[in-house]
Amino acid sequence: MKFKRWEVAASDPAAVAALRKAGYASLLSAALAARGIHTPEEARAALAEEKRLSLSPLLMKDMDKAVTRIRDAIRDGETVAVFGDYDVDGITSTILLTDYLKRCGVNCLRHIPRRIEDGYGLSSEAVGKLRERGASLMISVDCGITGNEEVDYANSIGLDVVVTDHHECKETLPKAVAVVDPHRPDCPYPFKYLAGVGVALKLVMALGGEARADELFARYCTLAAIGTIADVMRMEGENRTIVSCGMEALPHTDFPGVHALCREVGLWEKPVTSTQIGFILAPRINAAGRMGQVDLAVDLLECRDPARAEELAKTLCALNRERQTVEQTIFADAETQIARLPENQRNALVLSSQDWHQGVVGIVASRLTEKYGCPSFMIQFRDGMGKGSCRTCGGFNLFTALESCADLLEGFGGHALAAGFTIRAENLDAFRARMNDIVREKFGAEPCEAALRIDAVINVPGEATLEQVRQLDRLEPYGAGNPRPVFALMGAAAESVQSVGQGRHTKFRLSRGTARFDGIFFSVTEEECGIRADMRVDAAFYLQPNTFRGVTTVQLQLIDIRPSLCASRGEQESLDLLNRLTDGDKLTPQEIQRLSASREQFADCWRALERVFRRKRRDKADTQIETDTLPCFRDLAAEIGGCEGFLRAALALTVFEERGLIRVTERGDRMIIAMLPRNGKVSLDDCPYLARLKSDRE
């Protein structure tokens, strides 16, 4: 299991029925209802796709000032510098704005800092060099909102600055000619969730004027879509329009580098989804910045020569493979550190090393947050100074949390979900303690547990047809606020389990009733799954078409799989029989015979329980284990064998608890079993349940 808890959205059968009656497919109806969409009218509104951005860019605070200053620079032939960021959002923002300015005849300079050497955001050194190269105006994209000192320096050397950004603001804004950021407290722009590239797109549309707005949107929407998806912006409102139009326009975009990258990764001349942009295209563009070669990605997207673009795309993909290797090494080291952390330091994972690649720690933080369900802070130290990247989930605002630790930091920036910071080594312990306190204050004393949200359980597997799966595409584009729908099969049979992809992935054949599905669990080995053929399992997954040798079928892309928490018919009959015994109900002679067990059989059950303890406890000193109830019964049943193994295991635990040998605490589908100390021998014959069985049998 990857997730300790599965949270199935509350089902609303009436809403599902109303949506199906209106013509929506059953799986789509279930997914919509799980998201609070209950009527056909609400569904039409939620699934509607706008073809243009209707909000005026001039609604943004200072947009008019930015437009006036940039138009003056274009008219007067000034040299204009664009200062970007090294992630996908920053790279696409830089390309979008420089392309527009160059098409206006501007002598345009670009600067994107090196992640490792320069760090995030504006720097006075870079600002000074741009001024030396003749720039009289600098426009920041996807950065600058916290660069107060750097903007002051630019002003002092005669370099005007227009800041465009989408990150959270500090109390005091930079003293720039214009500060365009929807997160400004005084900005009336109604949509607050644009990516940096979305703000850059709005700037270009404002510069072009209302008459050219649609033309400019059509030219740049694909770049804006890639940056928006990569920066994990909320997929609603204008972002939904940008991304849906950008994906549709991708095959026809005027940027050959995008075509070259699609060809290199096998997406050319195929329908491209937001998921493929987020997990295939964006990581490769991001790899350039992470590995200290950001100009490689910028040159690719800026390239006008298709042949040269092909070469750059191949190099970029090779660099991404190198990044993946480095990432795996850091992730393994982080896991080792987490295992050594005391419980009171696991609410927020604050980890550090001098050996980590600073450009890769952010993506490892994302993986840790996904796995452990809590904020993660990864810090790479050099000469006593650390550069950190952090990621969060569950409504925990990183920017606000870092503000609460500002006295321990040299600097920080970012937004609610992802941020960066610098810290001195001597402040690390205090930062770790305070951040864990902050998380505990919000979520409580218990360590965070990763929870998987499931939209709907498929109770009629035969309904998961290819046409039903294709209807789910109407929910695209996916992203924050509109995640890809997750479905589940409960109580399925694992007919086969097979390692594929040189042992890195696991393939399943699952069945329930007469329906059978192939499933693939990427980046999870057969050993990590812990699932064997013939086990009864619950599976959570995305549904997708899969074409193999010209035949397209429904495939389950697994997100998690676990021994089933749903009792089979035989298991439920055994549990009901045990409950009747403990409740004192009258039993038939056949039922009494099923429940009867010898002293040696109980001894076998105790030895089996000890073996389960040895496997499941975290260290040798543990006197208790936490486990799923039904799978634990099945584990014991497998250990002791026999046709009545499940009933025997459940009976044994009941007897052992009544006799004071163990303590069982139930928590929903899970239970905590604690081994209790005992003095001398314990007589099982004195257990009232066994005494009753003996009396009835006699």
For 173-186, the pLDDT digits (tens) are 999 999 999 999 99
pLDDT at residue 444 greater than cutoff 80: no
Cα–Cα distance list, 668 to 280, 627, 640, 671 (Å): 38, 11, 26, 8
CA separation for the pair 662, 647 (Å, rounded): 18
23 φ/ψ sector (left φ>0, alpha ψ -120 to 50, else beta)? left
Domains contained in the chain, CATH given? 5-48+455-563 (2.40.50.460), 57-220 (3.90.1640.30), 341-451 (3.10.310.30), 569-697 (1.10.10)
pLDDT at residue 488 greater than cutoff 80: yes
pLDDT at residue 620 greater than cutoff 70: no
205, β-bridge pairs: none
Q: What is the pLDDT of residue 552?
A: 92
Tens digits of residue pLDDT in 264-295: 999 988 888 999 999 999 999 999 988 889 99
DSSP code at position 408: G
Q: Is the dihedral of CA 613, 618, 621, 623 positive or negative?
A: negative
* Average confidence score pLDDT of the chain: 92
Average pLDDT over residues 324-328: 92
Tens digits of residue pLDDT in 4-54: 789 999 889 999 999 999 999 999 999 999 999 999 999 999 898 889 999
Looking at 75-89, 266-280, 310-324, which range is the least confident one? 266-280
For the entire predicted model, the pTM comes to 0.81
Backbone angles phi, psi at 116, to 5 degrees: -80, -50
Q: What is the pLDDT of residue 131?
A: 97
- CB atoms near residue 479 (< 10 Å): 23
Band the pLDDT of 428: cuts 50, 70, 90: very high
Q: What is the pLDDT of residue 629?
A: 87
R_g of the chain, CA atoms, integer Å: 30
Q: What is the pLDDT of residue 446?
A: 58
Q: What is the pLDDT of residue 232?
A: 86
Tens digits of residue pLDDT in 227-269: 999 998 999 999 999 999 999 999 999 999 999 999 999 998 8
Q: What is the pLDDT of residue 371?
A: 82
Average pLDDT over residues 374-383: 93
